[in-house]
Amino acid sequence: MTIDQATVRKIASLARIAISDAEADGLAGELNNILGWVEQLGEVDVSGVEPMTAVIPNQLRLRDDVIDADPLTGGNRRDDILANAPEPQHGFFGVPKVIE
């Protein structure tokens, strides 16, 4: 598997990272290097092996259906939610106009 510049551009676009031609060039080489190295995983016989799901045996706990039981995971904290917003607007987050 060789990653060319076009693939790098496609991945960068999926990841929403703007890159220059020079960066795309450099990244193509680096990614090929790294991915070439990880491809040795293909040697491992994994027949009958399940992918790891929980690294330590543990059960998924479920929360009770209670509003604002813990302020850290509850609502009604608009000021905190908007405190670091780059473009707060009347209680909303402002973003460049989106055309759907």
Partner 1 sequence: MTDLTNLTVAQIRDGHRAGDFSAVEVAEAFSANVAGAKALNAFIVETPDHALAAAKAADADRAAGTLKPLSGVPIGMKDLFCTNGVQTTAASHMLEGFVPRYESTVSQKLWDAGAGMLGKLNLDQFAMGSSNETSYFGNVISPWKRNDGGPNLKERAALAPGGSSGGSSAAIAARLCPAATGTDTGGSIRQPAAFTGISGIKPTYGRCSRWGIVAFASSLDQAGPMARTVQDCAILLENMAGFDPKDATSLDMAVPNWEAALSSDLAGKTVGIPREYRLKGIDPDIDAMWDAGIAMLKDAGAEVVEISLPHTKYALPAYYIIAPAEASSNLARYDGVRYGLRDLPQGAGLQDMYAATRADGFGPEVKRRIMIGTYVLSAGFYDAYYTQAQKVRTLISRDFTAAFGTCDVILAPTAPSAAFGLGEKTSDPLAMYLNDVFAVPASLAGLPAMSVPAALNREGLPLGLQIIGKAFDEQGVLNAGLAIEERAGFTARAEKWW
Partner 2 sequence: MSDYRIKGETGEWEVVIGLEVHAQVTSNAKLFSGAATAFGAEPNTQVSLVDAAMPGMLPVPNRECIRQAVRTGMAIEAQINKWSRFDRKNYFYADLPQGYQISQLYHPLVGEGSLHIEADEKAGIAADKVIGIERIHVEQDAGKLMHDQHPTMSYVDLNRSGVALMEIVSKPDMRSPAEAGAYVRKLRSILRYVGSCDGNMEEGSMRADVNVSVRKPGDPFGTRTETKNVNSVRFVMQTIEYEAKRQVELLESGGTVDQETRLFNPDTGTTRTMRSKEDAHDYRYFPDPDLLPLELDDAFLAECRESLPELPDAKRARYEAAGISAYNAGVLTAEVESARWFDALLETGAEPKAAANWVTSELFGALNRLGKDIADCPVTPAQAGELLGLVADGTISGSIAKQVFEIMLETGDGAAAIVEREGLKQTSDTGAIEAVIAEVLAKNPGQLEQYRGGKEALFGFFVGQTMKAMQGKANPQVVNELLKKALG
Please pick, from the candidates 17, 68, 76, 89, the single residue that binds partner 1 as defined by CB under 8 A: 17
- Choose the contact partner of 4 out of partner 2, partner 1, none; CB within 5 to 8 A by kind: none
Site for partner 1 in 53-82 (CB under 8 A): 54-58, 60-61, 63, 70, 72-73, 77, 79-81
Q: What is the DSSP letter of 89?
A: E
* 9 lies in the binding site for partner 1 (CB under 8 A): no
* 22 lies in the binding site for partner 2 (CB under 8 A): no
Phi, psi of 88 (to 5 degrees): -70, 140
Whether the Cβ atoms of residue 31 and residue 3 lie closer than 8 Å to each other:
yes
Please pick, from the candidates 4, 6, 35, 68, the single residue that binds partner 1 as defined by CB under 8 A: 35
Query: In angstroms, rounded to a whole number, what is the distance separating the alpha carbons of residues 94 and 97?
Result: 9
Q: What distances in angstroms separate CA 64 from CA 1, 35, 69, 75, 76, one per listed residue?
A: 48, 44, 9, 15, 18
Give the footprint of partner 2 on this chain (CB under 8 A).
Answer: 13-14, 16, 53-54, 58-70, 72-78, 80-82, 87, 89-100
